[in-house]
Amino acid sequence: MSAQLIDGNALSQQMRVDFSARTQSLISQGTTPGLAVILVGDNAASQVYVRNKVKACEQVGIRSVLEKYPENLSEADLLARVDKLNHDPSIHGILVQLPLPAHIDADKVTEAISATKDVDGFHVANAGALMTGLPCFWPCTPHGCMKMLESIGYDLKGKHAVVIGRSNIVGKPMALMLLQKNATVTICHSATADLKHHCLQADVIVAAVGKLNVLTADMVKPGAVVIDVGMNRDAAGKLCGDVDFEGIRQVASYITPVPGGVGPMTITMLLSNTLDSAQQSLSVNT
């Protein structure tokens, strides 16, 4: 079998056409959607991510404000900046790019962002709402993965999904989203005794650990769907995910590529959350 690709670039472009129309509609109602992106320090990967987020906003007409600060910005100054943005009615989404320098408490900063502007979906109020099934901002990466499954018409009801990774940003919310769609979910992590055993049971595997070749073809049931959240560089410096793409594509029914898979979908869901936030502010103020 040769797996079909789930093309994150193509799906993103399709969704962003609709987002451009939504943006124009909001503008015609007097609200220009606005996203503030804060970058502290000069982490090379973060600079690329942030640039791509700003570019995507431009593409659909969302106003973005990029604030870059030096590595030695104090935690108090960052919190003061977040507080200002919380009270700025022209800003509907606030994103503080992670990781932050070690002297800044990232949890404290995340919790300082108003839950109503937390378009990353990282605030405990949004994490708790996701867990209980209440409406909230969903974290962009797992939400993008769900959209990719939806795009192939995949019905998760009764299926076995294995999530490799238990981060607050991807693994845990991913498991909750799959559960909400009635999948049976297993979360595997660094202390899992027999990863291969669990993966071989899976109809859907989401790999999100940030490690090369964490999943290989011998760990995948024929016909399974494989979603690769990883973003790594191999020995030759080539961008690649967490899974052995060439091997697994011979076994799986669908697979997401890296690059051009989950990455663009993460940004697309950030745009979606920002538009939802702007829409909500319109409802509150009318």
Q: Which of 95, 164, 176, 269 binds ligand GUN (CB under 6 A)?
A: 95
Q: Which residues of 35-44 are buried (b: 16+ CB within 10 A; e: fewer)?
A: bbbbbbbebe
Which residue out of 42, 68, 84, 97 is catalytically annotated? 97
CB of 23 or CB of 266, closer to ligand GUN: 266
Per-residue x/- mask for ligand GUN, residues 64 to 83, rule CB under 6 A?
--------------------
The pairing of strands 254-255 and 4-5 is parallel
> Which has the closest alpha carbon to 192: 207, 181, 176, 204?
207
Q: Residue 220 CB, nearest distance to ligand GUN (Å)?
A: 26
Which residue out of 117, 118, 120, 172 is catalytically annotated? 120
What Cα–Cα distance (Å) separates residue 61 from each residue in 81, 90, 221?
A: 24, 14, 43
CB of 169 or CB of 199, closer to ligand GUN: 169
Q: Can residue 97 be called a binding residue for ligand GUN (CB under 6 A)?
A: yes
Q: Which of 56, 140, 146, 187 binds ligand GUN (CB under 6 A)?
A: 140
Please give the Cα distance from 125 to 120 (Å, whole number): 12
Please give the Cα distance from 157 to 170 (Å, whole number): 21
Q: Residue 45 CB, nearest distance to ligand GUN (Å)?
A: 8
Number of neighbours of residue 139 by Cβ within 10 angstroms:
29
CB of 141 or CB of 274, closer to ligand GUN: 141
> Which has the closest alpha carbon to 254: 165, 141, 159, 176?
159
Please give the Cα distance from 111 to 34 (Å, whole number): 20
Q: Binding to ligand GUN (CB under 6 A): which residues in 116-135?
A: 120
CB of 39 or CB of 219, closer to ligand GUN: 39
Q: Can residue 242 be called a binding residue for ligand GUN (CB under 6 A)?
A: no
Q: Residue 170 CB, nearest distance to ligand GUN (Å)?
A: 8
Q: For this structure, is 18 an active site residue? A: no
Please give the Cα distance from 66 to 49 (Å, whole number): 12
Q: Can residue 106 be called a binding residue for ligand GUN (CB under 6 A)?
A: no
Per CB under 6 A, residues contacting ligand GUN are: 95-98, 120, 140-141, 266
Q: Which residues does the annotation mark as catalytic? A: 53, 97, 120
